[in-house]
Each structure stands twice: as C-alpha cells, then as structure tokens.
Structure 1
Amino acid sequence: MSEKEGYLGDRTTEQRYSRRRIVAGAGGIVGAGILGAGVQTQIVRSQEAPPSGTDTDVYAEGCEDVDHWELTLEEANEDWSARADPSLYCSVPCSLTDTDNVAIGQQVRIGNGTGEFENAVYTVASEHETDETLWLTASGLDRIDASDSETVTLGSSAIHPSYNTRQGGELNDEYVEYLVNGDDGGDGNDVVVLAPHGGYIEYGTDFQAERVAESIGATGWICSGFNAGGGGFDRWHTYSTEIHRRSFPELDSLLEQEFEWGVAFHGYSNGEILVGGTADESDKAIVVEAIEDLLPDQTVTVVERDATEYTGANPENVLNDLAPIGQTIQIEQPTDVRESDWSVVADGVVDALETIRG
C-alpha cells in the first residue's frame, strides 16, 4: 500500500491467521546516553524501576542497545490534516530531534504495555518545545488505549531488533524486517522485490516477494507484522510514501545499492488486481498479460501513473527510492487472491520480468 488513504485493512484475514503470542518479553532495554546538558527528558535504563502502570520494554527481551525514553502523553491540538490518518502520527520533544536521537519523518514505537496493542508504530510528524511530553491526537491515544497525562515509552526503532525472520515475528507477535537473497545462480541480482506490509498487515505479500526473489535470484526486502487476535494492520502499518530509512536498518543498507528494476507487492480491499508503478504502459501490459494467463478468471488492470490512488508512482514511495523511475512495478491485490492465489500471481510476475528484461 502506498498512496492509499484511509484504508483500514483486512481485519477478518488478520483475525483468521493470527496466532497466540507464545513468547513474552521480560528483559529490560538499556537507554541512550544523556541527550545533552540541561535536557530534562527522562531516560529509562534497565536497572531503574519504571513508574507505576508503565512497561518500558516495548521490544520484548534481548535488546540491550535500543534507545528509548519515558514521556508523558499530551493530547495534541494538531490534527496533521495533510496526513491520511492522524492516529498514525506523533510529535516529539525538540530535545530528541536536536540531538539526532529521533528525526522528523521516521517511524518510532510507542506503548504502555496494556490494551489491545502493547505498543504500536507511529511516524514523527513534528517537534515541540516541552521536553517531557509526547503528543498524540485523540485517535492516536486510542490506538494504544492510552490517556492524556499517562506515562508511556517511546522507542527509536520501528521493527524488533532481535528477530530477523518471518517466523520470529509470528512466534513472538512482533514486527520484523528481513532480507531474502535469491539463488546466486539466478540472473536477477539487479532486481529488488518489496513487501513492506507482510505478515498479517497485508497477508500473503511477504510470501510473494520471497517467491519472486528466490525464483530469479533477486534481493527481497520484507517487513512482516503480527498481532494476536487481529489488528496487525492497525498496529504496524506505515504508508509506503513515508517509510523512513533510519527506522529500517536493512532498507538503509539497500538504499546504498543500485538496482535496475523494482517490484512491490501490496494488498487492498477492492476486487481486481492492479498493476501500477512507474514502468512504461507497455511493460505493465506485459505484467497484466502474464498474470491473466495464469488466472484467466481474475480481472487485472493497469493503473495509469497519474491516477489518484494505487499508482505506486509517487517519487517518495520506497519502491521508487530503490529502483529508477520508469522501471518499477507495483502489484495491488484483493484479499481472496492473496489468500488462495498468491503464488500464482508471483509466478506471473516472474514470467513478466523475464520477458521485460529479455
């Protein structure tokens, strides 16, 4: 999902596939160093007892070097009206941005250890002068069942630093980032394949990215999120146009490389498969035909680059950061396709790439 706005995700799918959390985090996290002389923002360290009613461990056990801070929530007057959904954003103290602990635009993790979501991912939309407060809108507070003046923990990493596989994310009810490197004997080492919303955020897309990467010897970048009882989308989703490199270390490393082609798999709630991206119409038509050959009863449609939704053509889309404008393809798919025919669509994309790349 990239420029899509206001989409709430496939909650029934998430509920159907989510599994019981079987590993509970109990270890502490060592906080960052002092933010600077005179700064009053509190820094929590593992040996310090947290304030009553809070849980400083927003990443579960085993993460001794993750920066985190305890802050007091304040309901924001800002509605961040330029954003698709104000519940996904926060404002942090200038003491964090001035010392480069947190940057405007990056994703962070916020939680109080209670409620349906123990913590969730937010994007930093702005900064403010009050050192000890963290601003969320009313809907942003509701995401983690928090209230004004409550103490919560802000963590500097969106993904869990200790897990680097889909299985690790699923077994621990977590949000993970990992790379898939295809067979060295393949001819696709100049292709990058993305699934920014895998797991139960947009089910099936991570399987697709892995299948394509392994089939052609490409590099796959995948994020997968899970939440027991459903709600993976609401807890972990970040718009593709806002994914920040400092929040995802594996992505950061890939952005130093040069890829010739990029493909991204996404899910949405409409009934047809959409083929977008910045590629020429003729190239996108090849993708459409390849998928239709394998799924003759499924409607597959090209999305024009100037369409208002689902285009994948925004220059700020992470797909278009990794591969050149004019050589990116984005696939949007309905729920039933991602559940039943995810591998077929992936194979169609493999066939199309072989034709396009000669």
Structure 2
Amino acid sequence: MTDDNDTTGHADSPALTRRATLAAAVGTPALLGLAAGSYEVAARTTDDEDFETPLLCPLADGQSSLEGDRTALSADPRLLSAYDLSEGQQVRVERRDDEFAAYTIVEERPEDPTDIIRAADVTRCRLDLEEATPPAPGDVECPSPDQNCSLADDEFEVTLSTTIPNPDLSESQAREQGELIERLDERGTDRIFLAPHGGAVQPWTDDQAEYAAELTASTCWRTKGWGPDGGNAFRRWHVPTMELSPESYPELETIADTEYDLAVDCSGVCDAGVLVGGTADRDLRETVRDSINDALPRCAIEAELEDDGTSDRMLVNRLGEESIYLSQSYDSRRAYWEEVAHGLAAALSDDVEPPEQDPPCDRGNAPSETPPEDRGNAPSETPPEDRGNAPSETPPNGRGNSE
C-alpha cells in the first residue's frame, strides 16, 4: 500500500518546530509511576506554536453531544488557526501511514496543552483500520460503529491535513491507494446531479449521477472513495452530507455559490428499495418515481415516495432551489443502478427517451384470502406514499448515522 504521505504530501501542514523532548534526568514513565498515556500528556509542552503531532484524546465532561458521532472532533481554536481550519470544516486525521480518515470539526474548545483533539471512542476507532475486518458484500452501506477497538481507551498522537480529496490522483490510483478524489463536470446548466459518497463508500451512486447528468446535459459533482485493501471505504471517508463543507472540497467550492433550479442527490440507504424524497413538489417526485418504475425490469422492487431529504443543512438543499433525494439500498443499486439512473433522467428531461414499460409482474396463481375484486379494501401497514418515516442511513434532522 502506498504511503499516504507520498500522496498528500501534507503540503498544507504548518511549518512548525518539532516538540521539545524531556531532559534525560526526568526519568522514564516507570520510574515516575505514570501510565504510558498519562506520561505522554505530561511530557507535552504548552508551546502554542507546536502543533505538528496533536494528541487525540477521549471526550471530556460536558461533551455528551459528541458521543456516538463517528466523524465529530473538538479542538482548541489556536490549533485550528495554525492549520487555517474552523468549526464545520473537514480534516484528515492520520495515525499511521495507512490509518487515516476524514472527520468534521464540530466544536472549538480551549485546551491546555492547546494541541489536544477530542473524540468519542467510536470516532477514534475509525483509525484502527489495521485490525478492522472489511465488511461483507452487501453490508457496505451501514457498518456497525466499533467502540471496543484497541484505541477506544487510548490517547495517541496524530497528524492533520486539510486535504480531503486528493487532487493529484487518477481514479485507478485512488482505488489502489485507498484514497478519495472528487470530480466536477460543469455544463453551465440550471440542474446538478450529486453523489457525495461514490466509489466504494456507497457503490454505484457516482455512476448513477454521471450517467443521468450525461443523458440530461447537466452539471455533475461527485466523490469517489476507497479503503485499504479494497475495504472499509465507508469507515474511512463517509461524512454526512449535512456536514460537508465546500471549503474542504475544492471542486465543490467552485460551484457552492451557484443556486441551481434543481439539485439531485444519488445516495445510499440501509433499508431495502428505492426511495424518492427531497423538497421538490409532489407532482415532480411522483413523475420521477413512475419513470424509475417504468425503467425497472418486471418483478423488480418498486420505487416509492419518501418524506426524507428535506433538511436545509443537506448539501443537495444548499445547492438547489428544489431537490430530489434518491436513496437506494445496496442491492437495488447493484442490480439496477443504470435502469434507475435512466428513469431518473427521463423524468427530468424531455430530451431523454423514456424507458419501455414492462407489463405487471404475475407472481403466479396462488390463492388469496381476499378475492381479487375486493383487494382494494385490504388494510395496508404503510401506504407507499407514507413510508418516509422508515429509518435511513441519512436522517436529515440529526447527526450520527446520517448519509
């Protein structure tokens, strides 16, 4: 695996002096009766200019809001200033050459020493990729947070970089090195397709955004991320879209002030199916749903409306006056990513030929408790148009397991 220092260069890290070492007369941790972790804290200087290797520590009292949030960090304002960072931006945190991940600064908190960073157990465990087991195929969407790793009770030194997507890599190089890249096709239109979690983070979402944008001659922005040895891309690169800062994604920043008439987010969801949400009016969302269903093969799962993806904080709603938030399970994308993208494009552009509609699926002549002519009155647990309350990988109104 290529050394990440070779790919990022850490060119954006401050040119800072190395940390002063203790004099030999001070003695060893064992002689002082200190645990290794406590000794490391005690040995650190309080030099405000020494931020080369901050210390990643557990949360302090009063930080319960960060518990369970696997991307959230707090840091001293002076440390952030040294890296030209501010609250709300992403930062790359690296423990070793091949153990790094993207995080979000959610709290500026004075510390002493000033180079302390704090995060929950589950957040620090994202850097324990050496011992992490890659998820099985089909489980890449919603890996369970790990808060019992070897790093859960430790504090340890890290390095920081403001580089999130690597600007110098091709797609094949990024795949090989477990890196993240971003791509922008600016076509000067009033419509944009997004895939904030492409590559192996939420597979095929970037393919969908690219394909639909090409069919409709629309602008397209997407990221493509991979993990070490082909696994754990979600664990390394997934940042909820409500937290994505354009300042941390240079290509995205170039279009961040553009207000598109319509923004479309191709995303993943833990639950089965294809769900059409967003802030667009119901008529448009129904048109998208029906067009996708026309594109899907006979007997496939059907797209449904979803009352999700409406938060003003979500990237798709920051960019678009109206939005379509398309969330799909891993299995749906694996089987039908192209059909769904075609149906989506056909619903939004008259220049795209609509897909041919298959006849309804006949699942056989098995007897039914309700005669066919009376089936319309059979109670339904959840009408398709009301299934917006199903839990998703991205709850729009909160932190945590968001998209």
Q: Please report the TM-score for the alignment, with normalisation by the length of structure 2.
A: 0.66
Q: Work out whether residues 178 and 225 of structure 2, in 8 Å CA contact, stay in contact via their aligned partners in 1.
A: yes
Match of residue 199 from structure 2: 199
Structure 2: gaps (5+ residues): 20-50, 129-150, 353-403
Q: Are the equivalent residues in 2 in contact too, given 1:30–1:44 (CA < 8 A)?
A: no
CA offset digits 1:129-174 (Å, max 9, x no partner):
22121112222222113463421111122222323x5334213210
Counting matched residue pairs gives 291
SS across alignment from 1:77: coil
1:221 matches 2:216: no
C-alpha distance in structure 2 between counterparts of 1:275 and 1:83, whole Å: 30
Match of 2:107 among 114, 126, 136: 126
CA distance in 1 between counterparts of 2:157 and 2:80 reads 20
* Partner deviation per Cα, 1:172-221 (whole Å, 9 max, x = no partner): 21011111245xxxxx8211100001011111000001111111111111
Q: After TM superposition, which residue ranges in structure 1, 4 or more long, deviate above 4 angstroms?
A: 31-34, 42-45, 78-84
- Tell me which residue corresponds to 1:321: 318
Change (3 A) 1:321 1:44: farther
**Residue in 1 that maps onto 2:132:** none
Alignment of 1:236-247 (within 5 A): 236-247=237-248
Structure 1 segment 173-192 matched on structure 2, within 5 A: 173-181=178-186, 189-192=189-192
Aligned 8 A contact 2:56 2:118 in 1: yes
Q: Percent identity?
A: 28
Q: Secondary structure at the match of 1:70?
A: coil
**In 1, Cα distance between the equivalents of 2:213 and 2:66?**
33
Distance 1:33 1:271, change over 3 A: closer
Query: Quick one: which amino acid aligns to residue 184 of structure 2?
Result: L
State the alpha-carbon separation in 2 of the partners of residues 26 and 32 from structure 1: 11
Q: Which has the higher helix share?
A: 2
Name the CA shift for 1:44/1:240 in 2 (closer, same or farther; >3 Å).
farther
Q: Give distance in 2, aligned partners of 1:43 and 1:155.
A: 16
> Residue type matched to 2:247 in 1?
R
Partner residue of 1:86?
A: 69
RMSD over aligned CA atoms reads 2.6
Q: Secondary structure at the match of 1:87?
A: coil
Inter-CA distance 81–213: structure 2 relative to 1 (3 Å threshold): farther
Measured in 2, the distance between the counterparts of 1:167 and 1:181 equals 22
Residue identity matched to 1:293: D
Alignment of 1:270 with 2:271, yes or no, is: yes
Q: Tell me if 1:350 matches 2:355.
A: no
The DSSP-based 3-state class of the residue aligned with 2:279 is coil
Choose the corresponding residue for 1:148, options 144, 154, 163: 154
The residue type paired with residue 303 of structure 2 is V
CA distances 1:4-49 after superposition (whole Å, capped 9, x unpaired): xxxxxxxxxxxxxxxxx5x444544345456xxxxxxx5679xxxx
Deviation per residue, 1:87-109 (Å, 9 max, x gap): 21111121034567111111111
Between the aligned partners of 1:301 and 1:44, the Cα distance in structure 2 is 57
SS of corresponding position for 1:284? helix
Partner of 1:39: none
2:167 is the alignment partner of 1:166: no
Which structure: larger Rg? 2
CA shift for structure 1 position 274: 0.2
- From 298, 302, 323, give the equivalent of 2:301: 298
- Classify 1:80/1:199 alpha carbon distance in 2 versus 1 (closer, same or farther; 3 Å): farther
Query: 1:83: Cα distance to partner?
Result: 5.7
Q: 1:104 to 1:283 in 2, by over 3 A?
A: same
Residue 241 of structure 1: CA displacement?
Answer: 0.9
**Matches of residues 247-286 of structure 1 in structure 2 within 5 Å?**
247-286=248-287
Tell me the secondary structure at the aligned position of residue 112 of structure 1: strand
Query: What is the CA–CA distance in structure 2 between the aligned matches of 1:356 and 1:301, rounded to whole Å?
Result: 24
Instruction: Give 2:310's aligned amino acid.
Output: A
- Tell me if the contact between 1:286 and 1:352 (Cα under 8 Å) persists in the aligned partners: yes
Sort the Cα spacing of 1:299 and 1:30 in 2 relative to 1 into closer, same or farther, 3 A: closer
How far apart, CA to CA, are the structure 2 residues paired with 1:78 and 1:102?
24
The structure with higher relative contact order (CA 8 Å, sep 6+) is 1
Q: Distance in 2 between matches of 1:32 and 1:174?
A: 18
Structure 1 residues 224 and 190, CA gap change in structure 2 (3 angstroms): same
User: Counterparts of 2:237 and 2:74 in 1: how far apart (Å)?
Assistant: 18
